[in-house]
Amino acid sequence: MKHPILPERNGGGRTRIVSISAAPFDGYPFPRVLESLASIGATYVEPAFIVGYTEPFDESAFTAAQAKQYTAWLKDAGIACHAFSSHIDLGRPDALEVFRGRMDFARALGARVINTNAAARSNEHRFYTNIAQLASHAEMLGMWIGLENPGDGSDNLLNTAVDAAALLARIDHPRVGLNYDAGNTISHRPSIHPAADALAAMPHCVHTHVKDVRANADGFFFTPLGDGQVGCAGIVEAIAKTDLDLSIEIPMRLHRGPDARPSRAVYRVPLGDIETTLKAALQFVRQHLERAALPA
């Protein structure tokens, strides 16, 4: 089942949105993140709230008062929010209450897409019960839920692109699609070619992440775009032929061990290093979007 990309885009001539995930800024306050992004010419941020991948937080981070503060920070910085990352297992017992609150928070910031994992296969039954209600809530909010393939090697309802059609057909709601991330595939299922899988998943996407990874005996390390083994140039050039919006996600404080489990460095990454990497990533994405748009 092919799920439509944001329908207001089709034929509307809206400029493609290129967001930058806040993940590389792990450890910095949000106003500083926005100031840094503005300095490199970014116009969209994707806030990242992912347990184990970013600084610790709880549900008090998603109150109406916090949403009002974040909205003011975004306005002051001249940065918009289109996508929002808040990955949980949607089959866990409290997922309905937790994720609905995070959806409300994300929409208050302006987000139209909220990205999350699907669920461990062991939570399959509860996942389908929950996603039906969450999809209805997304429709009410004017949002889309992007289900993202994980990177930790676990058994998920969405491991690779081949899982997408049956998963989405069973959900059967146009407000739910994929937020595919080939940078997760390389650690999650190393036998699968990440770029080829990204292209297979693309018709099912409502949004997509672009990140690069290099693997060695010590694990999986996130690199500048184009320096890894994912095949990001081909992925971005394929995106250029669609209406998809995308986020650049380079979690520089993080790496995965040989078992694919995430590990955060003790210290945050210096801002100068983050800005240099992200500025180059923006140039990389723009270059390959433009290259794909040139006549053959």
pLDDT band (50, 70, 90) for residue 4: very low
The predicted pLDDT at position 295 comes to: 63
For residues 209 and 226, give the distance between their C-alpha atoms in angstroms, rounded to a whole number: 14
CATH code where residue 159 lies: 3.20.20.150
In a domain, 203, yes or no: yes
Q: What pLDDT was estimated at residue 55? A: 87
Does 5 reside within a domain? no
- Over the chain, what is the mean pLDDT? 94
Mean pLDDT of 16-38: 97
Is a pLDDT exceeding 90 seen at residue 256?
yes
Is 10 a member of any domain?
no
**With 60 as the cut, is the pLDDT of residue 284 above it?**
yes
Name the pTM for this structure. 0.94
Share of the chain above pLDDT 70, in %: 94
C-beta separation of 173 from 144 below 8 A: no
Is residue 150 in a domain? yes
**Number of separate domains in the chain:** 1
The maximal CA–CA distance of the chain, rounded, in angstroms, is: 52
Per-residue pLDDT, 53? 85
Give the domain extent around 103: 18-293
**DSSP state letters, 31-50:** HHHHHHHHHTT--EEE-B--
- Residue 194 corresponds to which tokens in the numbers above? 């990440």
In a domain, 258, yes or no: yes
Report if residue 3 sits inside a domain. Answer: no
Cite the DSSP H helix spans in the chain: 30-39, 64-77, 95-108, 124-141, 164-171, 182-188, 194-201, 232-239, 271-293
Say which residues have a Cβ less than 8 Å from residue 245's Cβ, sequence separation at least 6.
6, 16, 17, 18, 19, 82, 83, 113, 207, 208
Other beta carbons within 10 Å of 285: 23
For the segment 157-186, the average pLDDT, to the nearest whole number, is 98
For residues 131 and 174, is the Cβ–Cβ distance under 8 A? no
Mean pLDDT for 23-35 is 97
| Residue keyed to tokens 């347990």 | 51
Predicted confidence (pLDDT) per residue in 39-89, tens digit: 999 999 999 999 888 888 999 999 999 999 999 999 999 999 999 999 999
Q: Which residue has the tokens 């100031």?
A: 35
Tokens, residue 17? 């949105």
Q: Name the helix (H) or strand (E) containing 197.
A: helix 194-201
207 forms bridges with which residues in the sheet? 179
Question: What's the CA gap between 290 and 24, in Å, rounded?
Answer: 25
When pLDDT is averaged across residues 11-22 and rounded to a whole number, the result is 82
- Is the predicted pLDDT of residue 8 greater than 70, yes or no? no
- The whole-number pLDDT of residue 10 equals 38
Share of the chain above pLDDT 90, in %: 91
Q: Phi and psi (nearest 5°) for 51?
A: -60, 130
Q: How confident is the model at residue 184 (pLDDT cuts 50, 70, 90)?
A: very high
Q: Is residue 264 part of a domain?
A: yes
9: in domain: no
Residue 296 has pLDDT above 80, yes or no: no
